[in-house]
Amino acid sequence: MSIFDHETLACPKCGREIDFAVARSVLADRRPDLREQIMAGTFQIDRCPHCETRLRREPDLNYVDIGRAQWILARPAPEVVDWGALEAQALGIYELAYGSLAPAPAQEIGRGMQVRVVFGWPALCEKVLALEHGIDDVSLECMKVRLMRDLNGPALGDTTELRLHRVEDEGLILAWVDADGEAPLEVLTVPRALLDSIDGARADHAELRASLLAGPFVDINRLLIDPMDAPARQPEPVAA
C-alpha cells in the first residue's frame, strides 16, 4: 500500500514551519496517479501557506510496482555519499518485504523483481522510465560512461548528473541535471542504436557491467563516489 505520514518542514524561503504529508511508500499498481505525478515532476510538491513558495520534499520512500517487477529504495540526493550503507539497508528492507525473510506469498511476488537504490527524483524517474521502455539500466549506465568520455558537457560537480529524461522515436533524450534542484542544465539526443550496440556487446563491457551490478545501486556514481571519503550534505526541501 502507499503510505504517507506528516512531518514539519521549514520553508526554504521564509523559514516558517509547514505541515507536510511525506510519502514513505508508493505502490504504483494501486496508485497509478502517484506514478504519473512522480514522472511529471509534480509529486511531493506543496505550497507554503505563509509566503506561497512552492517547495518539494526529497524522496525518502519505497517505490513498488509489482506488475512491472520493480522495487526501488529512493533516498534524498545528498545521501548518495552514503550509498554503501544505504545499499545494505535496501537489501535488508527488501528481504523482509519480499525476500527470504518474507512470508511465502510475498516471496512469490518478489521472485524476479528488480531491486534498486536511487538518490533524488531524477534518478528515480530514470529507473521507472528505463524499465517502462525495455531499457536495461546497466547498459544505460555503460552508455553514459561512453558519452562522458566522448562528449563535452557541463563540468561535473557534486550534484551534476546525466539522466535519461525522455524516450522518443528519434532516440533517447538525456539531460545534465542538478540533482538537488532538478534543473536541466543541457539536453542531448542519443540514437537508440548506440544503446542497442552497447547492449548487444555485453561481453566487451563485462568488467564495467560487473562493477555496476555489484549491488542494487546501479549507477555510474558508484564508480565516482567513494562513500568513505565524500562529505555528507543535509537534504532540505527546495523551492519548486
Q: What is the pLDDT of residue 110?
A: 95
In this predicted structure, the answer to whether residue 156 has a pLDDT above a threshold of 60 is no
Q: Are 185 and 178 in contact (CB under 8 A)?
A: yes
**Could you give the CA distance from residue 238 to residue 178 in angstroms, rounded to a whole number?**
12
The Cβ of residue 131 has, within 10 Å, a number of other Cβ atoms equal to 18
Range of the domain at 92: 3-239
Over residues 194-232, the pLDDT tens digits come to: 999 999 999 999 999 999 999 999 999 999 888 765 555
Q: Which of helix, strand or coil describes residue 231?
A: coil
Q: What is the pLDDT of residue 13?
A: 87
Over residues 15-72, the pLDDT tens digits come to: 999 999 999 999 999 999 999 999 999 999 999 999 999 888 999 999 999 999 999 9
What are the cell numbers at 70?
520493480
What are the cell numbers at 6?
506528516
DSSP, res 2:
-
Q: What is the pLDDT of residue 237?
A: 63
Over residues 119-143, the pLDDT tens digits come to: 999 999 999 999 999 999 999 999 9
What are the cell numbers at 23?
510519502
E-strand ranges in 28-182 read 45-47, 54-56, 61-65, 70-75, 114-119, 160-168, 171-178
- Give how many domains the chain has, as a whole number: 1
What are the cell numbers at 224?
565516482
152: confidence class by pLDDT, cuts 50, 70, 90 = low
